[in-house]
Amino acid sequence: MTEAVERLTKKSEDPSKWYLDLIRMAKLADYGPVRGTFAIRPYGYAIWERIQRDLDDRFKATGHVNAYFPLFIPESYLKKEAEHVEGFDPEVAWVTRAGREDLEERIAVRPTSETIICEFYRRWIDSYRDLPVLVNQWSNFVRWEKVTRPFLRTIEVLWQEGHTVHATAEEAREETLRMLDVYQDCFHETLAIPVLTGMKSPSERFAGAVETFTCEALMGDGRALQAATSHDLGQNFARAFDITFLDENQERVHPYQTSWGFSTRSVGALILVHGDDRGLKIPPKLAPTEAVVVPIWRGKNKGEVRREAEALYSELKDAGLRTEVDLDEEHSPGWKFNEHELRGVPVRVELGPKDIEKGQAVLVRRDTGEKEFVERKQLGGRLHVLMGEIQENMLRQAAAFRHENTHQAGSYEEFKEIIAEKRGFVVAPWDGTEETEQRIKEETKATIRLLPFERQEGEDLVSGRPGKTAIFARAY
RNA sequence: CGGGACGUGGCGCAGUCUGGUAGCGCACUCGGCUGGGGGCCGAGUGGUCGCCGGUUCGAAUCCGGCCGUCCCGACCA
């Protein structure tokens, strides 16, 4: 292996450095001048756009519509729901001055939109006939985080936030879980990332929610990442913002709300879950380029190979594949192979003089490195099949990794040992008290990532009291 | 916000201890030869050494302050 390849730090050697190297070298993002801000570069943004489209289609399919609400929120609104303001207060960015004048009331740059949206819902909702309200917003938010990393934790985040209103508690809970499923499907089917779903413990609950549900993914270094959340807000915000409607019995009552969000953090998860020592690995459904044609020419036949490569590119494009052809004359084929592997393109299509002679092309999979020779006429069809196989294989591999790194702990000693040495998810009973949760966190740095929907009875490893299954891990 | 490390062309670094006007590899530009796993030769471009102040005839180098980045902790999507 040559010097240039080694420049990407090995994932196993220093995962943190690997992550930052990869983001820089694959041109996914770049640091901004204000601490914690990042530009998402075109290639990184192309991935986010595909996630957006996938999610948006799923939202529309479940009856939601898009809207947009103000970025600026009066301080008085943020304060209306007591728990909410307490939760977000430490990280809100405030506007106190506009132009040359001080503002009378501080204005928050949205850390999330529940409060401002409630203002509008109070005006828009009057009757049970107005319900349910199923609105989503594509937006950004600002939370002044202390420790930042590109995609995983930034002070400005691109995301989607759904905000719905329902007549009954049952409907709201149903919606909360429906959207959790939508997120799970998106992770599994599109990002090829297996996620566990379940309920958050009270201490990890969204500020102001009745119940928070989460998708938790396991990263390559054995740490967990909260990948998306869905909240049942109950009537907490409706009460605080005086949202009411006249129900079918002529009674004025508070409705029930939900909110759910999925952010560019998912791009960080994608990198951490699928990336390897060669670079990024993007599942076909998400890849801005599914297949890249790399011509292999010699001085004397450059013209012919070039023409054939361009023709092949057109054929593949016509076959409905997202394709590019790398006609760069400065770099050797080997250089290009490495470059496109770094970028995570699912399949490389090599075309050289020998291939042209035989009427074939060489396909190389990014996920397995497997090489195959395919007849030119069958390329389009074969590639479509291959994309499906790669998509499936990537999910299967990630699921296998998660399976290998999910452990049952029989004692607290064993629990500590697993967290310290192997990391990964640890399944153990929890007695439901904040006290044991806190103690485990202090002593092992592991937190309860979620409480699964199916929970077994058992004895809490710390307190010895009766408990039920919880999933622990050290988290990002 | 605490503990530690570090800021020198786009990236990775040397030079800092012992002050004398900035260098290497990669990248980039031009020319030529090359081309099935990061090719070779030649010629070039690019840096107020993180910022502000101090000491000095002279500061990347010494002193003070600030800012930023990374790692390990406390808080979070």
Taking the CA of residue A224 and the C1' sugar atom of nucleotide B14, their distance in angstroms comes to: 39
A257, A156: one domain? yes
Nucleotide nearest to A297 (CA to C1'): B35
| SS3 label, residue A211 | strand
Cβ–Cβ under 8 Å, residues A214 and A262: no
Structure ipTM over 0.85, yes or no = yes
Residue nearest to nucleotide B12 (CA to C1'): A7
Residue A189 pLDDT grade (very low, low, confident, very high; cuts 50, 70, 90): very high
DSSP string covering A135-184, please? Answer: EEEEEEEE---SS-BTTTB-SEEEEEEEEEEESSHHHHHHHHHHHHHHHH
Taking the CA of residue A261 and the C1' sugar atom of nucleotide B70, their distance in angstroms comes to: 29
Choose the final residue of a domain: A274, A307, A322: A274
CA A101 remoteness from chain centre? 40
What pLDDT, in 10s, does the model give residues A254-282? 999 999 999 999 999 999 999 999 999 99
Taking the CA of residue A278 and the C1' sugar atom of nucleotide B14, their distance in angstroms comes to: 28
Give the CATH number, domain containing residue A417: 3.30.110.30
**Residue A280 falls within a domain, yes or no?**
no
Q: Render the burial of A47-64: b for 16+ CB within 10 Å, e for the rest.
A: bbebbbebbeebbeeeeb
Q: Which residues form the domain of A313?
A: 291-386
Nucleotide nearest to A91 (CA to C1'): B76
The percentage of chain A sitting over the pLDDT mark of 90, rounded to a whole number, equals 81
Amino acid, single-letter form, for residue A441: K
**Residue A254 falls within a domain, yes or no?**
yes
Distance CA A360, CA A357 (A): 8
Choose the final residue of a domain: A355, A386, A417: A386
> Per the structure, how many domains does chain A have?
3
pLDDT the model gives residue A74: 94
pLDDT tops 50 at residue A122: yes
Nucleotide nearest to A353 (CA to C1'): B36
Nucleotide nearest to A34 (CA to C1'): B68
Residue nearest to nucleotide B26 (CA to C1'): A4
**Residue A269 falls within a domain, yes or no?**
yes
Nucleotide nearest to A342 (CA to C1'): B38
A121, A257: one domain? yes
pTM of the model: 0.95
Taking the CA of residue A1 and the C1' sugar atom of nucleotide B27, their distance in angstroms comes to: 19
Nucleotide nearest to A476 (CA to C1'): B76
The percentage of chain A sitting over the pLDDT mark of 70, rounded to a whole number, equals 99
Please enumerate in sequence order all residues whose Cβ is within 8 A of that of A311, keeping only pairs 6 or more positions apart, or say none: none
Taking the CA of residue A244 and the C1' sugar atom of nucleotide B43, their distance in angstroms comes to: 77
- CB-side neighbour CA atoms (13 Å) of A265: 25
Closest Cα partner for A229 from A450, A455, A470? A450
A200, A256: one domain? yes
What pLDDT, in 10s, does the model give residues A14-53? 888 899 989 999 999 988 878 888 889 999 999 999 999 9
Taking the CA of residue A16 and the C1' sugar atom of nucleotide B35, their distance in angstroms comes to: 36
Nucleotide nearest to A328 (CA to C1'): B35
Sheet of A72-74, strands arranged across: A72-74, A101-109, A93-98
A182, A46: one domain? yes
Give the CATH number, domain containing residue A357: 3.40.50.800
Residue nearest to nucleotide B1 (CA to C1'): A146
Q: Which nucleotides of B are covered by protein (CB under 7 A)?
A: 1, 11, 25-29, 33-39, 67-77
Taking the CA of residue A336 and the C1' sugar atom of nucleotide B21, their distance in angstroms comes to: 42
Taking the CA of residue A339 and the C1' sugar atom of nucleotide B49, their distance in angstroms comes to: 32
Q: What is the DSSP letter of A276?
A: B
Residue nearest to nucleotide B37 (CA to C1'): A334
Taking the CA of residue A280 and the C1' sugar atom of nucleotide B7, their distance in angstroms comes to: 28
CA R_g for chain A: 25
What pLDDT, in 10s, does the model give residues A447-465? 999 999 999 999 999 999 9
**Residue A284 falls within a domain, yes or no?**
no
Give the CATH number, domain containing residue A206: 3.30.930.10
Instruction: Determine if the peptide bond prior to A353 is cis (ω within 30°).
Output: no
DSSP string covering A350-370, please? Answer: EE-HHHHHHTEEEEEETTT--
What pLDDT, in 10s, does the model give residues A275-303? 999 999 999 999 999 999 999 998 888 99
